[in-house]
Structure 1
Amino acid sequence: MSEEQAIRAVVHLYVDGMAFANEGALRKAFHPNASIVGNLEDSIEWLTRDAFIAAVVEEEPAPPDTQPLMEVEMIQITGDAASAKVVDEFAGSRYTDYLSLLKVDARWLIVNKVWHRHT
C-alpha cells in the first residue's frame, strides 16, 4: 500500500466514523492528543479527540446502507507528515476539513482537524 493509499484509508475511517457514529473507527483515525478546531456561531470550538467523539456519537447515525460523502480534494505528503483537504457531510451540514496527519509507529494518524461548515 502506498503512503497516499494509507492516508486515504485513515480519511475513510474518519468519514465513516462520523457518518455512522462509529467510536472505534474515530479512535483509530485520530491520535489521542488530536485537536479539532473550527468556528461555531460566534466562537471558536476547540475540542479534544474524546470530546469530538462524544459529540459525534450523540448525533443520529446515517442509515447503514448510506454511502457517506467523502471528496478528498488534496493530499500532500512530506516524509512522515501529511495534510489532506476533505469535503464531507455530518449532521445535515457540509464541511471542508483540513486534516494534519503524522506517521506514528508506522501508522498514519490525524493529529489536527480544522473545519469549516458551509452555510
Structure 2
Amino acid sequence: MSDEQAIGTVVHLYVDGMAFCNEAALRKAFHPDAKIIGNFQGAVEWMSRDEFIAAILAEPPAAPGTQPLLDIEITDIEGDAAFVKVTDEFAGMRFTDYLSFLKIGGHWVIVNKLYHLHR
C-alpha cells in the first residue's frame, strides 16, 4: 500500500469514527497527544484527543448504512510528514479539516486537526 493510500485509510477511519461514534476507530486514527483546534460557537476550541472523542461520543451516531460525506481535497506527503485537507460533516455541521500526519513505526497517525466550521 502506498503512503497516500495508507493516509486515505486513516482519513476514512477518522470520518467513519466521527459519523458512527466509533471510539476505537478514533483512537486508532489519532496520536494520543494529538490536538484538535478551531473556532466553535464563537470561541476557540482547543481539545486533546480524549476530549475530542468524548465530544463525538456525546452526539447520536449516524444511522447504520449511512454514507458519511468525505471529500479529500489535498494530500501532500514529504517523507514521514503529511497534510490532508478534507471536507466532512458531523452532527449536521459541515467542516473543512486540515489534518497533520506523522508516520510513526511504519504507521500514519493524525497528530493535529485544525478545523473550520462552515456556517
Give the TM-score range, shorter chain.
Answer: over 0.9
User: 1: distance between equivalents of 2:76 and 2:11?
Assistant: 13
**Number of the residue aligned with 1:48:** 48
The runs of at least 4 aligned residues of structure 1 exceeding 6 Å deviation read none
Match of 2:13 in 1: 13
For residues 53 and 65 of structure 1, the distance between their equivalents in structure 2, rounded to whole angstroms, comes to 22
Q: Which amino acid aligns with 1:76?
A: D
The offset of 1:42, in angstroms, is 2.2
Q: In the TM superposition, what are the counterparts of 1:22-61 in structure 2 within 5 Å?
A: 22-61=22-61
Q: Partner of 1:3 in structure 2?
A: 3
Structure 2: gaps (5+ residues)? none
CA RMSD of aligned residues (A): 0.5
Q: Which residue of 1 aligns with 2:115?
A: 115
Alpha-carbon separation, structure 2, partners of 1:52 and 1:77:
25
Q: TM-score, normalised by structure 1?
A: 0.99
What corresponds to 1:69 in structure 2? 69
Q: Secondary structure at the match of 1:64?
A: coil
Deviation of 1:50 (Å): 0.2
Aligned equivalents of 2:64, 2:25: Cα separation in 1: 15
Equivalent residues, number: 119
Work out the CA distance in 1 between the residues paired with 2:91 and 2:107: 29
Distance 1:50 1:87 in 2: 22
Deviation at 1:35, TM superposition (A): 0.1
Whole-Å separation in 2 of the counterparts to 1:94 and 1:69: 9
CA distance in 2, matches of 1:12, 1:96: 15
Partner Cα distance (1:40, 1:21) in 2: 20
The amino acid that maps onto 1:101 is F
Specify every segment of 5 or more residues in structure 1 that has no aligned partner in the other structure, as ranges.
Answer: none
SS in 2 for 1:25: helix
Deviation at 1:2, TM superposition (A): 0.4
- For normalisation by structure 2, the TM-score amounts to 0.99
- Structure 2 CA distance, aligned partners of 1:99 and 1:110? 6
